[in-house]
Amino acid sequence: RWDNAFLYQNRMRAHEFVERAEAEGFEILLNTAKATELRLGQLAATPVHAQFASIPAERLCITSVDFIARKSGPLAS
């Protein structure tokens, strides 16, 4: 069952997690976010809420992301 007390749901998209890390000065070493043909096809057949309509389909249909990032610059002491 989705959206229950044990499976938190939010509206941040995969690219937003990565972009926020970059905005905080992290260098992205690995980003697994990828649009699949299946998801692109499914998205094409699905009405998109106005809140998300400006996001390109290649970003909007990504359902998960793992990324590795490293903080640039000197290490904090």
Asked whether residue 43 is assigned to any structural domain, the reply reads yes
Q: pLDDT tens-digit profile of 32-52? A: 999 999 999 999 999 999 988
Asked whether residue 29 is assigned to any structural domain, the reply reads yes
Asked whether residue 5 is assigned to any structural domain, the reply reads no
Q: How far apart are CA 35 and CA 55, in angstroms?
A: 13
The angle at the Cα of 64, spanning 25 to 17, to the nearest 5 degrees, equals 20
Enclosing domain of residue 53: 14-66
Q: Parallel, antiparallel, or unpaired for β 67-71 and 26-31?
A: antiparallel
The domain tally of the chain equals: 1
Q: pLDDT tens-digit profile of 21-31? A: 999 999 999 99
Asked whether residue 6 is assigned to any structural domain, the reply reads no
Q: What sign results for the dihedral spanned by CA atoms 46, 52, 58, 59?
A: negative
Q: pTM of the predicted model, to two decimals?
A: 0.68
